[in-house]
C-alpha cells in the first residue's frame, strides 16, 4: 500500500534545463554589453556544461565563464543576484505535473517534496509552479540542515506526512541522492530517467524506471513494480 508520494524538485517536477535556458536567454540579452565576446549559444552551452545539472554553484559558474569570454569581472555578482531574483519567473514544469499531483491527491495520497538547495531560491520555484498549494510538505536541505541522500532527511519527510517510510514512494532523477537515498531509507522508488543511462558503477535501480510523471499513477497501485 502506498500512503504518501514524495518527489524531488529539479529535473523531476521542474523541467530545470528548459527553464534555465529560457532564463539565460533573457539574462544574456539584458547583460550583453558586460559578457565579453560570447554569443548567446556559446554562453548558454558553456553555462549548461559547467552547471552540471545544478551541481556547480553559480558563484563559481559566473566568474569562470566571464573570464573565459573576457567579460567584465565585476558583472559576476550582478549576474548571480539577477539569477537568484529572476530565474524562478521562467520556471516550467514537466508535462503532466499538475494533473498527476491532483489525481494522486484525489486518491487520498499525501504528497511531499524533498529538494537539495537554498531555501529562498527553491521556495521561489515551488511557488512559481504552484506546488506550495499542491503538496502537504516541502523539505529543503538548507532549512532542514540535512541533504539527500542522508536517510534522516527521507525519514523526516515520511514523519511529516504521518506515513511509515515503507508506505512512501519517492520519485527523483538523481540515482544516488534520490533513488538510492530513498531506497536506503526504506522507501519504494521510481527513477525519473529523462533519457539518461543509469551509471554503470552503481547497483541497478532498485525500483521502477519512468519517462513521464503520469506513469506514477500506475505505480501507486502496483507496489511490486517499485520494490
Rank residues 66 and 129 by Cβ distance to Mg ion and give the closer one: 129
Q: What is the smallest separation between the CB atom of 94 and Mg ion, expressed in angstroms?
A: 11
Contact between 51 and Mg ion (CB under 5 A)? no
Distance CA 102, CA 109 (A): 10
Binding Mg ion by CB under 5 A: which of 10, 15, 144, 150?
Answer: 10
x/- track of binding to Mg ion for residues 172-201 (CB under 5 A): -x----------------------------
Which is closer to Mg ion, CB of 12 or CB of 79? 12
Q: Residues near 33 by Cβ (< 8 Å), separated by ≥ 6?
A: none
| Among positions 4, 5, 7, 8, the unique one binding Mg ion when judged by CB under 5 A | 8
In 3D, which of 93, 60, 96 has the Cα closest to residue 79?
60
Find the shortest distance in angstroms from Cβ 16 to Mg ion.
7
Q: Count residues contacting Mg ion (CB under 5 A)?
A: 4
15 binds Mg ion per the rule CB under 5 A: no
CA distance 217 to 187: 17
Least Å distance, CB 53 to Mg ion, is 7
Contact 113/137 with Cβ under 8 angstroms?
Answer: yes
Q: Give the binding range for Mg ion (CB under 5 A) out of 10-18, 84-92, 129-137, 194-202.
A: 10-18
Sheet holding 137-140, edge to edge: 137-140, 110-115, 4-7, 168-172, 188-192, 208-210
174 or 188, CB closer to Mg ion?
174
Residue whose CB is less far from Mg ion, 165 or 179: 179
Whether residue 169 contacts residue 190, with contact meaning beta carbons closer than 8 Å, is answered with yes
For 9, counting Cβ atoms within 10 Å of its Cβ (0-12 exposed, 13-18 middle, 19+ buried), the class is buried
Residue number with CB closer to Mg ion (71 or 175)? 175
In the bound state with Mg ion, the residue whose beta carbon lies nearer, of 27 and 174, is: 174
**Residues 147-176 interacting with Mg ion (rule: CB under 5 A):** 173
Nearest residue (CB) to Mg ion, 10 versus 158 = 10
**Is position 11 an interface residue for Mg ion (rule: CB under 5 A)?**
yes
What CA–CA distances, in Å, run from 110 to 6, 31, 164, 180, 188? 8, 43, 12, 22, 15
Distance in angstroms (rounded) separating the CA atoms of residues 79 and 58: 9
Number of C-beta neighbours around residue 218 at 10 A: 11
Residues that bind Mg ion (CB under 5 A): 8, 10-11, 173
Amino acid at each position: 500500500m502506498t500512503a504518501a508520494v514524495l518527489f524531488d524538485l529539479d529535473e523531476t517536477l521542474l523541467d530545470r534545463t528548459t527553464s534555465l535556458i529560457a532564463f539565460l536567454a533573457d539574462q544574456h540579452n539584458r547583460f550583453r554589453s558586460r559578457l565579453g565576446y560570447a554569443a548567446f549559444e556559446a554562453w548558454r552551452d558553456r553555462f549548461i556544461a559547467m552547471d552540471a545539472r545544478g551541481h556547480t554553484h553559480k558563484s563559481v559558474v559566473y566568474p569562470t565563464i566571464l573570464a573565459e569570454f573576457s567579460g567584465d569581472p565585476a558583472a559576476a555578482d550582478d549576474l548571480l543576484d539577477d539569477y537568484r531574483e529572476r530565474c524562478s519567473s521562467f520556471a516550467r514544469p514537466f508535462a503532466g505535473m499538475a494533473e498527476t499531483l491532483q489525481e494522486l491527491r484525489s486518491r487520498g495520497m499525501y504528497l511531499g517534496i524533498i529538494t537539495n538547495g537554498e531555501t529562498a531560491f527553491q521556495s521561489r520555484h515551488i511557488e512559481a509552479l504552484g506546488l506550495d498549494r499542491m503538496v502537504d510538505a516541502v523539505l529543503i536541505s538548507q532549512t532542514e540542515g540535512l541533504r539527500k541522500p542522508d536517510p534522516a532527511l527521507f525519514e523526516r519527510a515520511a514523519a511529516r506526512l504521518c506515513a511509515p517510510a515503507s508506505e512512501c514512494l519517492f520519485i527523483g532523477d538523481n540515482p544516488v541522492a534520490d533513488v538510492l537515498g530513498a531506497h536506503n531509507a526504506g522507501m519504494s522508488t521510481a527513477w525519473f530517467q529523462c533519457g539518461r543511462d543509469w551509471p554503470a558503477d552503481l547497483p541497478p535501480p532498485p525500483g521502477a524506471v519512468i519517462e513521464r510523471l503520469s506513469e506514477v499513477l500506475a505505480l501507486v497501485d502496483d507496489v511490486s513494480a517499485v520494490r
